[in-house]
Structure 1
């Protein structure tokens, strides 16, 4: 993300995030991003987007100054979003690799108009793309020049502040500064899925027993259709005999 677009994003979000940052409980980026669907938690949102990367250590080497919008220092796992609430948690998947993140900053700015809706930290980006983080240039080396990648994102927990709790939208929409009154519904609950699987597993033995019974009859007659027909005849005969006995008893009582 360029210096001008990130500074513009921070100037606009500064007033809105000052109060939020003061009320955030102290913790590390890793702690914020550890939870996920694998722990049986709700998945709040799933989708895909193009992700870029950045690293702002407040040194001014890349033109940026000051802390990220959340007030948290730059660290691995800290990502920027143009619309999700700050401190939203989740993870991205790229070519089978999974990396946790939490929303600690605003951005990308102008790039979000082109569908680049997530700014990952440079260290996470390096791990996903097989490169190395260059501490001198604050960039990623050895990944073939990749600066943008297509990722799947999964949100496991929404931040409590303002911002859109749904698929990301460009920064210029101002969704980052509005309280979302219509958040996305959870799309999956791992524990519920497990219960469904358990019920299905319990039902399987009954089906197996039925299959064994039919198979046994087939082996004896060599004809599945013959087994079914024989069963129907037996049921019909039993019913007929029963009716005859009942009729005889009624006749005796009447006489």
Structure 2
């Protein structure tokens, strides 16, 4: 054993290094726990949504956004529903605010509620859903940047998702398959919502 390793300074340094390693491990463990809890919350929410009657299902192209009133990346201000921008808050060009459900992309599911209006012009080309950036990153395996509001690690700006509606919002808006923003359906009360999808009867019943 070397003399240096037996000096008080060396022992003190080793103690500091050990403490630093413990702190690093604790931070990593805490981060992992937070992420695990977040994933667990998503799973529980989707499971709860999936247990509800299906009111409408379909598929559409979807983009992503993050409107926090900062003016960045085409930000148009705070969400129309009056709640702060958050994970799970989607925008629709025609569904009522408060509508709930979940989307599926490549085997991954994510819950949502409609809290804003949009896409605008892109809805004319069939982009009928705007997913919050954090959920979009989760679905595509990318990373959402809180500073640039851009999803990196995924090159496409649009994805095709399947959607399931489990609850319609109570206000104005079309309670059926989405239509372009320019139709103005988002501002008209729908007295004839789509008929609920009849669940399949399990075999043997």
Shorter-normalised TM-score: what interval? 0.7 to 0.9
How far apart, in 2, do the equivalents of 1:184 and 1:69 lie?
A: 24
Residue matched to 1:162 = 172
How far apart, in 2, do the equivalents of 1:81 and 1:186 lie?
A: 19
Residue matched to 1:87 = 98
Instruction: Determine if the alignment matches structure 1 residue 134 to structure 2 residue 139.
Output: no
For normalisation by structure 1, the TM-score amounts to: 0.60
- The number of aligned residues is 161
Q: Following TM superposition, by how much is the alpha carbon of 1:63 offset from its aligned partner in structure 2, in angstroms?
A: 4.4
> Which consecutive residues of structure 1, in runs of 5 or more, have no partner in the other structure?
1-29, 202-255
1:80–1:108 contact (8 Å) kept in structure 2: yes
Q: Following TM superposition, by how much is the alpha carbon of 1:135 offset from its aligned partner in structure 2, in angstroms?
A: 1.0
Q: Following TM superposition, by how much is the alpha carbon of 1:188 offset from its aligned partner in structure 2, in angstroms?
A: 2.8
Moved over 2 A (4+): 61-66
Residue matched to 1:249 = none
Residue matched to 1:220 = none
Listed one character per residue, the Cα deviations across residues 104-125 of structure 1 (whole Å, up to 9, x for unaligned) are 0000001000000000000000
Instruction: Determine if the alignment matches structure 1 residue 60 to structure 2 residue 71.
Output: yes
Residue matched to 2:115 = 104
Instruction: Give the number of the structure whose alpha-carbon radius of gyration is greater.
Output: 1
Q: Following TM superposition, by how much is the alpha carbon of 1:57 offset from its aligned partner in structure 2, in angstroms?
A: 1.4
1:129–1:146 contact (8 Å) kept in structure 2: no
For normalisation by structure 2, the TM-score amounts to: 0.74
How far apart, in 1, do the equivalents of 2:130 and 2:146 lie?
A: 18
The 5 Å alignment of 1:231-246 reads none
Listed one character per residue, the Cα deviations across residues 135-186 of structure 1 (whole Å, up to 9, x for unaligned) are 110010112x121001100001000000000000000001001110110011
Residue matched to 1:184 = 194
Partner SS for 2:135: helix
Partner SS for 2:122: helix
Q: Following TM superposition, by how much is the alpha carbon of 1:65 offset from its aligned partner in structure 2, in angstroms?
A: 4.9
Q: Which one of 150, 172, 182 corresponds to residue 182 of structure 2?
A: 172
2:66–2:75 contact (8 Å) kept in structure 1: no
1:36–1:43 contact (8 Å) kept in structure 2: no
How far apart, in 2, do the equivalents of 1:63 and 1:47 lie?
A: 28
